Amino acid sequence: TIHHCKIIDIPKISSDKGSLSFLESNSIIPFDIKRVYFTYDIPSGAERGGHAHKEQHEIVIAASGSFNIIIDDGNEKKKIFLNTPHKALHIVSGIWRELNDFSTGSVVLVMNSGLYEEQDYIRNYNEFKVEND
Residues labelled catalytic: 51
Q: Nearest CA to 82 among 90, 74, 94, 73?
A: 90
Taking CB under 6 A as the criterion, the residue among 2, 5, 49, 96 binding ligand TYD is 49
Cβ distance to ligand TYD smaller for residue 16 or 118: 118
Residue 37 binds ligand TYD (CB under 6 A)? yes
R_g over Cα of the chain: 15
Q: How far is CA 9 from the centre of its chain?
A: 14
Using the rule CB under 6 A, give the single segment among 10-18, 22-30, 45-53, 58-66 that binds ligand TYD.
Answer: 45-53
Burial of 52 (0-12, 13-18, 19+ CB in 10 A): buried
CA of 43: how far to CAs of 34, 39, 100, 121, in Å?
28, 11, 10, 24
Cβ distance to ligand TYD smaller for residue 22 or 116: 116
Residue 81 binds ligand TYD (CB under 6 A)? no
Question: What is the smallest separation between the CB atom of 133 and ligand TYD, expressed in angstroms?
Answer: 23
Taking CB under 6 A as the criterion, the residue among 10, 39, 100, 125 binding ligand TYD is 39
**What whole-number distance in Å separates Cα of residue 80 and Cα of residue 102?**
13
Question: Could you list the residues that contact ligand TYD (CB under 6 A)?
Answer: 35, 37, 39, 48-49, 51, 116
